[in-house]
Amino acid sequence: MATLPNPQLGLNTVTIANGAHFSGTITLNGGWLESIVMDVGWDAAGLSFQGSHDNVTFYPIYDGFGNEVTLTVAAGRAVVVPLDIIRGWEYVQLVSGQNSGSYVNQTALRTLVVASRWYH
């Protein structure tokens, strides 16, 4: 019988400030995002991502087909992040709107709960 790796689950709370569209930084430590719980007051906007390896310079995340990685989200919903979408980054920021120029500033402080997982 095969032994499964020991999964480690991390929960982070990040915020997007009033009048802003970027969250604080989430440290993934080689793991990947699994789910996000949206704030109940979330202003209508999709969610996109920026990644960094040094926690200084962040890059919009695109898939291997050249499409910006985005999720359809809504206020108060829990969203599953499809496996392997946000993986391979040490640091990630959530973006209200799209990196391609359609940012949506939130009209109040928004708190999101993010679950990440890694195996060792």
Q: Mean pLDDT lowest for which of 27-36, 37-46, 47-56, 105-114?
A: 27-36
Report whether pLDDT(119) > 70.
no
Give the number of other CB atoms < 10 A from CB of residue 32: 18
Asked whether the beta carbons of 61 and 50 are under 8 A apart, the reply is yes
Which residue do the tokens 């719980």 mark?
Answer: 37
Of the pLDDT bands very low, low, confident and very high (cuts 50, 70, 90), residue 28 is confident
The CATH architecture one would assign to domain 9-119 is: Sandwich (2.60)
The predicted model scores a pTM of 0.89
pLDDT at 120: 57
**Percentage of the chain exceeding pLDDT 70:** 92
DSSP state of 21: -
pLDDT tens figures, 60-117: 999 889 999 999 999 999 999 987 788 888 999 999 999 877 999 999 999 999 998 8
Looking at residues 26-46, what average pLDDT do you find?
Answer: 92
* Among the listed residues 70, 85, 95, the one whose alpha carbon sits nearest the alpha carbon of residue 116: 85
Domain ranges for the chain? 9-119
Tell the burial category of 102 from Cβ atoms under 10 Å away from its Cβ (0-12, 13-18, 19+).
middle
Half-sphere CA count of 30, side-chain side, radius 13 A: 5
